[in-house]
Amino acid sequence: WVQARLFGLSLPAMRLVNGLLHDTNGALLYLVVRRRFGWSELAGQIAAVVFLIHPTVTEPVMWLTSHDLVGVAATLGAFLVAPRWGWAAALCAVAFMTKELFVVTPLLLLLEPIRNRDLRKRMVLPFAAIGAVFALRAALGIPSASDAARSSIADQIRCAGAIVMHYAGQIGSFANGLT
């Protein structure tokens, strides 16, 4: 919406904005790997380069209607500002507003070390932000675009298990190829 307001329906301008968002996400990933995880500079560079060139991640750059780029930027931004839970909550809400998939953003923030009671209290904010977006969507009558949201919890657990088993098999076959 913002792109269309700023540039009209100019294809080159939309691609440029998507490319800049993708590059920004690569830089944010580098910062997350370095600052939040404490890994080496080389590890940050490798993570950023793999992210920037991997075909699965570059597809949204060419797909003009994709909101994934903004959601990824908000999620990575939430990781960077996580000690400031108000900002992290706002970024979680932005990520979730772009696509329902980003409902996992507060769950990812739970990976942050919990050291004291005050931190635990403030970690409620990202979950409250997602709840507020759910309530706003319901009040405005915005339906879920995801069929998974309408399936039972048992079906969702079976689906998640099948996905985990699939990727475990992929990893196992890759590891066997190395020996």
* 44 DSSP 8-state letter: H
pLDDT, mean of residues 160-177: 63
In DSSP notation, 92-150 reads: HHHHHHH-GGGGGHHHHHTTS---SHHHHHHTHHHHHHHHHHHHHHHHHT-----GGGG
pLDDT of residue 13: 82
Question: Are 56 and 6 in contact, with CB atoms under 8 Å apart?
Answer: no
Q: Work out the percent of the chain whose per-residue pLDDT is above 90.
A: 8
Q: How far is CA 25 from CA 42, 97, 110, 128, in A?
A: 17, 18, 21, 25
Band of the pLDDT at 116, cuts 50, 70, 90? very low
Put simply, whether the predicted model's pTM sits higher than 0.75 gets the answer no
- Comparing 122 with 105, the larger pLDDT belongs to 105
Rounded to the nearest 10°, the torsion over CA 133, 24, 46, 178 is: 50
In what helix (H) or strand (E) does residue 115 lie, and over which residues does it extend? Answer: none
- List pLDDT tens digits, range 33-92: 888 778 889 988 998 998 888 777 777 777 766 678 888 899 999 988 887 878 888 898
Cα gap 4→11, rounded to integer Å: 10
- For residue 5, what are its two tokens? 């307001």
Question: Are 67 and 99 in contact, with CB atoms under 8 Å apart?
Answer: yes
pLDDT of residue 45: 92
Q: Work out the percent of the chain whose per-residue pLDDT is above 70.
A: 65
pLDDT of residue 68: 83
- Comparing 104 with 43, the larger pLDDT belongs to 43
Place of tokens 């996905």: 163
Q: 114 pLDDT exceeds 60? A: no
Q: 167 pLDDT exceeds 80? A: no
CA nearest neighbour of 94 among 76, 121, 114:
76
